[in-house]
């Protein structure tokens, strides 16, 4: 009976004294004593704590020692016929077989209960895991969209920055050009004008040509007039011009 449990409290320690019922249930000493005390208090027959079967007869509830001594074992069946001994042994084997089947059934029920609890827990974990996966998937999609939007904004910002840089470079070049011109103009305005340029105006080209022509003509006329015989009185106008051209120093 060491492998059996109390059919009432499912305790593994049945104790030194155990109880057996006519309905083939096995009780620990505490559960058997509690059933006896409950029957005495209610003045009613003892009820099986497991199946509530009335235990009216004297031997319907028996308290026994699971480990009888050698003397008890040698004398308990002494004087009985072999047929009766076989009958008693058969009933004892039936009690043992029922306890084995009940133990298996109870263990199966216990395993089923634990399995159901584990399945419920696993189902709960699966639902929680699925919801968590859905939440993470939603966050991932949102992060991807945010990343795509950020990349687009960054690309636009780069293009705008490049355009602004080109405009800045153009403006810088224009500014530098204007600054050089302003510096050159300021330097020109600060340069002093020479005195001879202020007292003597520069002659224009046409005035220089007229002055040169007049000087040459006067020189030629004076030179030829100074030489005797070049200009004679009474010469025709054409003869005088030919003479002047022939004697022209130029």
Instruction: From residue 55, give the alpha-carbon distance in Å to each of 4, 48, 50, 165, 197.
Output: 22, 7, 12, 105, 154
3-class SS of residue 18: strand
- How far is 38 from 56, CA to CA, in rounded Å? 14
Q: Which pair of tokens denotes residue 89?
A: 């042994």
Closest C-alpha among 118, 7, 116 to residue 52: 7
Gap between the Cα atoms of 148 and 154, Å rounded: 10
What pLDDT score was predicted for residue 191? Answer: 67
Alpha-carbon span 229 to 247, nearest angstrom = 11
What's the pTM value of the predicted model, to 2 decimals?
0.49
What's phi and psi for 191, nearest 5 deg?
-75, 125
Contact 123, 131 (CB under 8 A): no
Q: What whole-number percentage of the chain has pLDDT above 70?
A: 75
Q: From residue 74, give the alpha-carbon distance in Å to each of 71, 78, 79, 99.
A: 5, 7, 11, 25
What mean pLDDT value characterizes the chain?
Answer: 80
Give per-10-residue mean pLDDT for the chain (250 aa): 76 81 90 88 87 88 87 86 93 91 88 94 94 95 95 94 94 93 86 55 50 47 45 50 49
CA dihedral sign, ordered 94, 96, 100, 105: positive
| Tens-place pLDDT, residues 83-139 | 999 999 999 999 999 989 988 888 898 899 999 999 999 999 999 999 999 999 999
Q: What are the residue ranges of helices labelled H in the chain?
A: 29-42, 70-76, 82-190, 195-199, 205-226, 237-246
CB 206 within 8 A of CB 240: no
- At 194 the pLDDT is 57
Whole-angstrom distance, CA of residue 79 vs CA of residue 71 = 14
């Amino acid at each position: 009976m060491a492998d059996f449990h109390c059919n009432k409290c499912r305790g593994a320690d049945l104790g030194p004294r155990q109880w057996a019922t006519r309905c083939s249930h096995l009780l620990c000493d505490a559960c058997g004593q509690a059933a006896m005390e409950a029957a005495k208090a209610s003045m009613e027959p003892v009820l099986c704590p497991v199946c509530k079967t009335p235990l009216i007869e004297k031997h319907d509830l028996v308290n026994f020692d699971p480990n009888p001594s050698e003397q008890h074992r040698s004398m308990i069946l002494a004087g009985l016929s072999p047929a009766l001994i076989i009958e008693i042994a058969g009933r004892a084997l039936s009690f043992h077989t029922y306890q084995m089947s009940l133990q298996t059934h109870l263990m199966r029920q216990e395993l089923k209960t634990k399995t159901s609890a584990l399945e419920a827990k696993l189902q709960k974990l699966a639902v929680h895991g699925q919801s968590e996966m859905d939440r993470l998937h939603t966050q991932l999609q949102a992060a991807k969209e945010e990343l795509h939007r950020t990349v687009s904004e960054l690309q636009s910002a780069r293009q705008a920055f490049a355009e602004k840089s080109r405009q800045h470079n153009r403006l810088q070049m224009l500014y530098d050009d204007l600054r050089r011109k302003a510096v050159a103009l300021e330097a020109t305005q600060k340069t002093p004008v020479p005195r001879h340029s202020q007292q003597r105006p520069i002659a224009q080209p046409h005035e220089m040509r007229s002055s040169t022509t007049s000087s040459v003509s006067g020189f030629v006329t004076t030179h030829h007039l100074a030489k005797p015989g070049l200009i004679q009185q009474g010469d025709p106008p054409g003869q005088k011009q030919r003479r002047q051209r022939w004697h022209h120093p130029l």
